Structure 1
Amino acid sequence: MSCRDDNSGGHSSTSAAGKDKASDKQKEKARVSRTSLILWHAHQNDAAAVRKLLEEDQSLVHARDYDSRTPLHVASLHGWIDVAKCLIEFGADVNAQDRWKNTPLADAEGAKKHSMIELLKSYGGLSYGQNGSHFEPKPVPPPLPNKCDWEIDPSELDFSNSSIIGKGSFGEILKACWRGTPVAVKRILPSLSDDRLVIQDFRHEVNLLVKLRHPNIVQFLGAVTDKKPLMLITEYLRGGDLHQYLKEKGSLSPSTAITFAMDIARGMAYLHNEPNVIIHRDLKPRNVLLVNTGADHLKVGDFGLSKLIKVQNSHDVYKMTGETGSYRYMAPEVFKHRKYDKKVDVFSFAMILYEMLEGDPPLSNYEPYEAAKYVAEGQRPMFRAKGYITELKELTEQCWAADMNHRPSFLEILKRLEKIKEILPPDHHWNIFTA
C-alpha cells in the first residue's frame, strides 16, 4: 500500500514538472512573439498597436532584438514621433545602447530626424556611439578604388522608351537602353540620394555585385555613383520574375519545377561558397528572374539585403538583424531574432519549391506576417497537390527543417535534385484522377 502511495506521488510530481516545462515553453514562445510584434509595430509607425501591447505588458518597452536595439531605437531611426512619445510614456530608456553603443538619439542624428532629435534631447537623451551601426563617422568611400572600370556616365543611359519594371521603398527599377543594349536600371529616388543610410545600402549592393560572376546570378554591368540620382545597372531579363510567372501559370509539372529549382540552387551554391559566403536573406519568387519568355533558364537577383560574411569556420553562426527579408519566405530563426547562418536561404528555397509545385504561395490564406509567425511556431504549409514524388516531398521538408543544422547545403540539394530528375518519367504529371 505504501509502495503504491510512493509511486503515485512520484508520478504526480513528474507530471507537474512536465506541465511546468510545457508552461515555460509556452511563455517563452509568447515572449519571443510579443518582442517581434512590438519591434514590428514600432517600425511600421503604428502607435496604437504599440500602446495596446504596452498596456498588456509594460516590460515590452525594454524589448531588444539580437542587435540589442529597442523599440525606441527603431522609432528614432525612422522619426516616428507618436511611437517614440508612447514608448517614453511607458518608461523607455532614452539612453539605451545597442550592440554598437548607439543610443536612440545617435540613430536620430545619423538619420537627420530633427524633430526626433529635439524630442529625445528634451527627455535627457545623450548621443553616444555612431561607431558602426547604421552610420559611419566619415563619408562612405566608393566601393572599389578602380571603379572607373564600371562607373557609367548617366548620359550613356537612354530612358526615351523606358518603362517601370519594379518599385521599392528606395526607388524604382526601369527598363532602359545602354550603348544600344536593353538593361535594368535600379534608380534611387532623388529625394533619398543624400540619405546616408540609402547611400550606404546602395554602395554595399554595388560592392557585392561587382564581384559576382555566375550563369545563375543576374549580371552587374555598372553603376552611377558620382552623380545623382544614384543608379545600378544590370542585364535586363525578358522573362520577368518567377512570382509573375507562377501567378499566370499556376502549379508547374515536377520536371519543370526541378529544372527551375536546380537553376536557383546553382546560383545559391555559388553565393554560399566559402570562405566569402554571401547570404541572400531575401530569396523569394520576385527575386528570381527568367532569362527569356521561353522560361528555360533562371537567375537569382536583388542583393539589396545580402550580407557578405568572411567564414573562419564552416559552422560559424552570426548575430544579424532579425526580421530581414520577406515574411512569407522567412526562416523561423530570423523571425524570432535568433542567431542564424546561410541556411536561412535554404529555408526560403524550400518555400519557393513548394510554391512551384502547388501553384500558390506558401500559407496563402494567411497575411505575410501571420504566415511567418505560424511557421515560427513550428507549423509548415500543407502538401495538397496529388502525385507528389516522395523524394521531392522529403527534400522540401528537410530544407524547411526547424533546426537549421538539419537543412542540407545547396550543393547537397543539387545532387539530390539531379537524382530525382533521373528517376522522373519524362511525361510525369500530377495524378489528379487518382484518390
Structure 2
Amino acid sequence: MESMTPAKPTLWKQSSMAPERDHKAPDDLEGDNEDGGVSDIDPGFKLMYLANEGDVDSIKELLDFGTDVNFRDIDYRTALHVSACQGYGDVAKLLLENGADVDPKDRWGSTMAPMHVRNVREVPEYEIDPRELDFTNSIEITKGTYRIASWGGTQVAVKIFWEGTADEDKVRAFRDELSLLQKIRHPNVVQFLGAVTQSSPMMIVTEYLPKGDLHEYLKRKGALKPATALRFAMDIARGMNYLHEHKPEAIIHRDLEPSNILRDDSGNLKVADFGVSKLLKVANRVREDRPLTCQDTACRYVAPEVFRNEEYDTKVDVFSFALILQEVWNYT
C-alpha cells in the first residue's frame, strides 16, 4: 500500500475572520535542515509554528529563552490566536501565564471571543463586523441594557456583553439569548438583526423602537382610552402566544414587565429583552440551576415559583401578563 505523507500544518488559516486564500508554506517552515526541524527560523515565527503544533514543552523552552510571547506576524496574529484556533487550551494557558495579551486583534478584527470559530466558513450568517456599528453620540436605552447605534444608516439597538473580565455565567447568558433570538420572528416580538461573536465585546443587535417602552409611555401619557388598553393587551397576548406556541420548544420569557414591552412607530407593542428567557421542552417543566434574584430581573412581575426555585412552565408568563393588564387598565 502506498504510504501517505502527513499533511503539513498551516498557519495561514489561523483567524476566524480571515478570508480564504491559498498560501504555500513559507520556506522557513519547510524544514530545509537535515532533520526537517525548525531550529533555524526566527524565534517569533518558531513560536507561531510550535503553537500550531501544540508543542507545550518546546514553547516553554522558547519562552524561557526570552522569545516575545506577543510576537505578531504580517497579519498581526499572535501565538495565542493560533493556539485558540487549533483548540490547544494547554498552549493558550501557558502563553497567558507568560504575559500574552488576553484580547489581541488580528488584521480582520478577530480576537479571543468565547464564541470564536476555527474557520471562516464557520462564521455564522448573522455575524456583523463591529466596525460597521457607529456609536457616535450613542445613548443608553431600555434600563441601560441597550445602546443606540447606526448600522448602514439605520438606527439599531445594541446589547453589549463581555465588558471587562468575563465569567461562565456571562458566556452562557449570551449564548442562550442568541440561540433564542435566532428562532423568533413575529410582528409583536422585537426583531433580531445580527450579532458580534468573533471579537470582544460581543454584541446582540436588534431593531430600534424609538417610541420607548410601555412603562415610560404609561407614566407620560396618563389616562388611556379603553380601546387603546384593549389593543395593547392584544399586542402583548399575540407576542406571548407566539413564544409559548413555538415548536418544538416553547419559549418562557420570565421577565415580562412594562419596561420590556416596546412601542414601534405605529404605536403597536412588541415583547423584548430575552436575557433570562428559557426554552421549555415539550411536556416538561423548568427548574433553575441557579435561582433568579432581584438583581437579575424586577421582582414585582415575576411569578413566586420562579424565585422559590420550584418547577414551572409557561404559566409564569401568564402571571406577569395579568399584572401588566391590571396596570394598563388602571390608566383607563
Per the normalisation by structure 2, the TM-score is 0.59
The aligned runs of 1:91-170 (5 Å cut-off) are 147-167=123-143
After TM superposition, give the deviation of residue 141 of structure 1 in Å. 7.4
> In the alignment, does 2:154 pair up with 1:181?
yes
Q: From 275, 288, 299, give the equivalent of 1:304.
A: 275
Structure 1 stretches lacking a partner, 5+ long: 1-138, 360-429, 431-435
- What is residue 254 of structure 1 aligned with on the other side? 226
CA distance change for structure 1 residues 204 and 323 in 2, over 3 Å: closer, same or farther?
A: closer
CA deviations over 1:311-333 (Å, ceiling 9, x no partner):
1x2xx333235446421111122
The aligned counterpart of 1:267 is 239
Larger RCO: 1 or 2 (CA < 8 Å, sep 6+): 2
Task: For 1:203 and 1:317, locate their aligned partners in 2 and report how far apart those are by CA, in whole Å.
Answer: 21
Whole-angstrom CA distance in 1 between matches of 2:131 and 2:291: 40
C-alpha displacement of 1:189: 5.1
2:325 paired with 1:353: yes
Alpha-carbon distance change, 186 to 140 in structure 1, aligned in 2, over 3 angstroms: closer
- What are the residue-to-residue correspondences of 1:366-381 with 2, within 5 Å? none
CA separation of 1:248 and 1:210: change in aligned 2, threshold 3 A: same
Deviation by residue 1:70-113 (Cα, 9 ceiling, x = unmatched) = xxxxxxxxxxxxxxxxxxxxxxxxxxxxxxxxxxxxxxxxxxxx
Is 2:187–2:239's contact at 8 Å kept on the other side of the alignment? yes
Question: Counterpart of 2:67?
Answer: none
- Please report the TM-score for the alignment, with normalisation by the length of structure 1: 0.46
The change in CA–CA distance for 1:183 and 1:250 in structure 2 (over 3 A counts) is same
Q: Secondary structure in 2 aligned to 1:184?
A: strand
Give 1:147 shift.
4.5
Distance in 1 (CA, whole Å) between partners of 2:115 and 2:172 is 7
Task: Spell out the pairing of 1:44-63 with structure 2 (5 A cutoff).
Answer: none
Q: How many residues align?
A: 211
Q: 2:263 aligns with which of 281, 290, 308?
A: 290
Aligned equivalents of 1:189 and 1:218: distance in 2?
22
Q: Counterparts of 1:322 and 1:353 in 2: how far apart (Å)?
A: 26
Shift of 1:340: 1.0
C-alpha contact 1:173 1:186 (8 A) present in aligned 2? yes
Q: Partners in 2 of 1:148 and 1:339 — Cα distance?
A: 34
The yes-or-no answer on 1:278 pairing with 2:251 is: yes
| Structure 1 residue 211: Cα displacement | 1.3
Counterparts of 1:147 and 1:245 in 2: how far apart (Å)?
39
Greater helix percent: which structure?
1
Cα deviations across residues 374-403 of structure 1 (Å, max 9, x unaligned)? xxxxxxxxxxxxxxxxxxxxxxxxxxxxxx
- The answer to whether the 8 Å contact 2:280/2:313 transfers is no
Gaps of 5+ in 2: 1-113
Structure 2: distance between partners of 1:334 and 1:239: 31
> In 2, Cα distance between the equivalents of 1:223 and 1:153?
9
Amino acid of the structure 1 residue aligned with 2:128: I
